[in-house]
Chain A
Amino acid sequence: MGSDRRTGTPHPPSVTYRRPPLVAAVQVSRTFGAGRRAVVAVHGATCTIEPDARIAISGVSGSGKSTLLHLFAGLDQPTSGSLEWPAQDHGGAPGSYDVATVFQGASLIPSLTARENAALPLVLQGIGQGIAEDRADLALTDLGVGGFGGKLPEELSGGQAQRVAVARAVATSPRLILADEPTGQLDHRAAQRVVDVLLHTADRLGAALVVSTHDPQVAHRLVTPWRMHQGRLDTHLDEPSCRRS
């Protein structure tokens, strides 16, 4: 039985049934380019992401964190290895209903307001514009940017834009939240708030959370530390593994 790193309290006993993992990767590699100019971004990564995982992936810039998250999200395909989403009914790549991604840079659509940006994944799922925008407003308020719903991305600061991006990710109530450097452009206080919201949302939804970060304080708030180094994933930094169960 493991223990919670934050509180030191023992984990509750295992439940009688186990839900399938959200992501199962075996010897996954991703190479960009070919020949002498080929760059191996991810090299033979093997891991699983359980439904209630809280994983922090750390590593220097260019170590392959973002690429790995894109692979988990189904936004990219591995060059070799096996990548599966066993929790999916069809076993194939997940839809936005299942996985939400917070990108590293400015990822808002410039021609949509903050509210419309946050509502877009919901609209894409077929939810009506009105309901989608109401839910987007709630998520924006949770992130402390509720007053900026009518603003265009260019009218927001970098931090505000990033919080809108997080709101957009959580507004869909996903089963897996992948956040790529979500606090990179935020001050300490705002960063903590974003992490609070991500953890709170993940807890509330029963979703897994995977965050790539440089910030040790952010990494510390998550249960499972992974590290990327030159494309290689090390999931055994903290015993027994990335699995919490």
Chain B
Amino acid sequence: MTWIWLRALATRRTGRLLATAAGIAIAVALFASLGSFLMASKATMTERAAGSVAVDWQVEVKSPDRLAEVLQQVSATPGTQQALPVGYADTSGLSARVGGTSQTTGPGQVLGVPRGYDQVFPGSIRSLAGATEGALVAQQTAANLHVQPGDVVSIGRAGLPAVSVTVEGVVELPQADSLFQDVAAPPQSQPVSPPDNVVLLPRAVFLDAFRPLAAARPDLVSTQIHVRRTHALPSDPSAAFAAVSGSARNVEAATSGAGIVGDNLGAALDAAREDALYSQVLFLFLGAPGAVLAAGLSATVSASGAGRRRREQALLRLRGASNAQLRRLVSLEAVATAGLGGLIGLVAAVGIGTFGLGGLGPLGSDFGTTVLASLGWAGLALLLGLDIAVAVIWLPARRDLKHTSTVGALRTVSSGARPVWLRYGLDIALLVAALAVFWVTSRNKYALVLAPEGVQTISVNYWAFLAPGLGWLGAGLLSWRLCDVVLDRGRRLVARALRPAAGTLATTASSMMARQRRTIAGSAVLIGLALAFAMSTATFNATYRQQAEVDAQLTNGADVAVTESPGSETPPAAGDRLRSVPGVRAVEPLQHRYAYVGADLQDLYGVDARTIGDATSLQDAYFQGGSATQLLSRLAARPDSVLVSAETVLDYQLKTGDLIRLRLQDARTTTSTTVPFHYVGIVNEFPTAPKDSFLVANASYIATQTGSDAVGTFLVDTAGSNSSAIAAKVQSIVGTDARVTDITQSRGQVGSSLTSVDLSGLSRIELLFALLIVTASGGLVTGLGLTERRRSLAIAGALGASPAQLRRLTVGEPAFVILAGLLAGALTGWGLSQLLVKILTGVFDPPPTHLSVPWAYVGVAVTCTVLSVAGAAALVGRRTRMHARDELREL
């Protein structure tokens, strides 16, 4: 009997079996793909974090006598690949005589680097001019001293005569912050910025030059051991962080405090583990609804055939089958469907990974995911498929066997009793609860991811998941309720709406729809939720991209930024030579000064308020109390206007029009001078400005008051294209006098800091599956629902209904499903998008003021819905006409 049942299932119920399996396959494929993506993403984060560090450890040797011992200990520590001693010495100042003029600098640092250092630590030193070995000066130092390779620099030593070296090359130190960190100091006590004046000497030269100073002033000379560690780390950033920081602590313990480890690698992994948790959160937020929807799709497909299954079971019971036998048959059906769906899902996931996402499949290991981990995800996905099959096939069938009589099971239309949840208003309760939870969580300004710096434990505020979860469910159930009400109590309204298409059959069609309202409402809700999923995911992704671009623009200032060396006196007219570079659309000079507001030192930016918007994007969100245009107009209206950060306004209780006296350095006298300004508005963000307090004023006024129109940065607009190539051309023009950066680099920095999650990969998976679910929901559910009514249509045909009349009888159902689904999807999608962006606000930097809706994608999703529903209806209608005789033979 079992074999006969299975064979019949495969041959007679092929469509339904495949449709249910398709729902399971989508869930399995989505879960496996997302799981693999998560694993790969975490591995990428670890890889990127490790790759971003040039010197993994800087071990400060506290006692020069124990250098050899510490070096030996560090070298012997498992995971250490290379360890080199580097000398550090404070210089009282540098001087050079070039072209008949003498240039001097303030205090600085001299490093003694061993031969081959730049090969052991690639990325630590970047050559700009001359040789890579010998005495090297940092780019800013070279600019300060006006030296180039071949010139002689004198290095001051406290209490000793200066030593002279010939400059062999000019270099950039990309990781100067960590290179000159105070190893033993906590993060809050680190130097604000690296030293401006740096000279690198070969270690032998360094030792000769500074051994006497070390003897006289040991506090001015020290030694660090720079360590290159293996980057074969656990793929999860948290595990990698634990492993690396554990080793660092082990070295400190083993050397009894003679060596203090500056764990640069650990610090990078520490930041990455926060990103990893964000990616986990995104995975749950964006992936879980997809899996639930796919399960819902299977459930709806299965439920649309539940009546037939009940009748078949009732007939089997009438012919003597026991409940145990029936349970066995249903179990087999569930396992067979889960197996088929799981297999299709895994094959699809591998396909998506291989062809769609560049090796991100569940069995691919391109991004560091181990095959074992991938197999683990595949196993979990299969388990999910089995769970869905049990939930949508086995449990309902078991409930029917337990609670439905044989006669009751033979019924073809469900009883009119309203579901319990509908009677008790569960949908409203869920929505109210969602709003309440959201209000409570957002009121407390919660942090979604809690990652105290340097602390091993890291946690996610999973409480935040509750609001969108409840909201999603509540919106789905409310949509169901509304569909139910419209189809049942609004029958006349539906008939009237159908009249243009159904003509005289409108009343009959609306009556048929009213009696099938549960199935129709289920289809509409599933389509609505699928659309909401697609819309909210797409909107979230688009908003994320929008804000990432905004962040990159803010960080770099413009498409290309030319930052002059501190102390340089580059006039605004220097921008003219940049304007001549092909591809440059606009160039704007941006002054950068420091100003004292009371006792606080703040950055002050001088701009031409009328033209600054030509070279950079200024969003309304950057300002408070008006749009960007309004605030800049206010700034331009009076020469002495100034925009102030909200924090300063609060601290000093400022009101619009208040006089502020700022202390600025006068270039003519090199002393501080008090300059009066009038406060006209609040600025929150500004290109190249720090996140904390700063000021924006008119450049011409600052120049007049301080006697200098020197430009800090030239903002170059390239219309968003060819930024890197144009940046290279600009660099060739300005030489080593200025630092040229383009937005591509900023995008990389932004993407690898807070949200190094490769959201584009996640987006592709999400959006692909969202479309798939939308299409499948529309097509499968409508098609199967109408197939169930094929017999009714055959009867109507036998009673004289023409093909056109049959179409009129059935046109209402797909039309209603499309309309209700689109409406429910649009409203729920809009609400969910708002909620998602609010809850995941930590992902955005800066937070968005408005959502970016990808209308093209939404249009594709809506088109897919309409085409799939209409197509399925047309197909079923055609098949019904073709097989009407077969149906009649059963009458």
Contact = CB atoms under 8 A, between A and B. Distances in A.
Nearest to A180: B891
Interface string A100-125: 01011101111111001000110111
Contacts of B512: 109, 111-112
Contact of A120 (B516, B799, B890): B799
Contact of B800 (A96, A103, A107): A96
B796 A124 contact: yes
A79 interface: no
Interface string A113-144: 10010001101111011000000000000000
Interface in B395-413: 411-413
Given A96-B799, A121-B800, A111 B413 contact: yes
B511 A116 contact: yes
Interface string B494-514: 000000000011011001101
Contacts of A67: 889
A34 B885 CA distance: 16
B891 A105 contact: yes
B805 interface: yes
B520 to A, nearest CB: 11
A125 B795 CA distance: 15
A22 B512 CA distance: 34
A199 B889 CA distance: 26
A62 to B, nearest CB: 12
A105 B890 contact: yes
A152 interface: yes
Given A116-B511, A125-B800, A111 B516 contact: yes
Contacts of A73: 798
B411 A154 contact: yes
Interface in B830-885: 885
Given A116-B508, A125-B800, A128-B504, A104 B516 contact: no
B891 A110 contact: no
A109 B789 CA distance: 9
A99 to B, nearest CB: 8
Tell me whether chain A's interface is mostly helix, strand or loop, or mixed: loop
Given A109-B796, A116-B511, A129-B504, A76 B801 contact: no
B243 interface: no
A131 to B, nearest CB: 11
B798 A101 contact: yes
Nearest to A168: B799
A129 to B, nearest CB: 5
Interface string B765-808: 00000000000000000000000010010011011110001000
A26 interface: no
B515 interface: yes
**Which of A110, A121, A129, A168 has the most chain B CB within a 10 Å cutoff?**
A110
A41 to B, nearest CB: 9
B796 to A, nearest CB: 7
A70 interface: yes
Contacts of A60: none
Contacts of B508: 112, 116, 120, 123, 129
A70 B885 CA distance: 9
Contacts of B890: 105
A107 B795 contact: yes
A33 B885 CA distance: 13
Contacts of A95: 800
A109 B792 contact: yes
Given A101-B798, A120-B508, A123-B508, A107 B891 contact: yes
A58 to B, nearest CB: 20
A104 B516 CA distance: 25
A205 interface: no
Contact of A124 (B507, B515, B516, B799): B799
B888 interface: yes
A75 interface: yes
Interface string A48-90: 0000000000000000001100100101100000000000000
B499 to A, nearest CB: 11
Nearest to B789: A111
Q: Which of B411, B412, B505, B795 has the most CB of A within 10 A?
A: B795
B79 to A, nearest CB: 72
A85 to B, nearest CB: 14
21 contacts: A66-B889, A70-B888, A70-B889, A75-B798, A75-B885, A76-B885, A76-B888, A95-B800, A96-B800, A101-B799, A107-B891, A110-B412, A110-B413, A111-B515, A113-B511, A116-B508, A116-B511, A121-B799, A123-B505, A124-B505, A153-B413
Interface of B: 411-413, 504-505, 507-508, 511-512, 514-516, 789, 792, 795-796, 798-801, 805, 885, 888-891
Interface of A: 66-67, 70, 73, 75-76, 95-97, 101, 103-105, 107-113, 116, 120-121, 123-126, 128-129, 152-154, 168
For the complex of A and B, list the 4 residue pairs with the smallest distance between their C-beta atoms, beginning with the closest: A96-B800, A111-B515, A103-B891, A110-B412
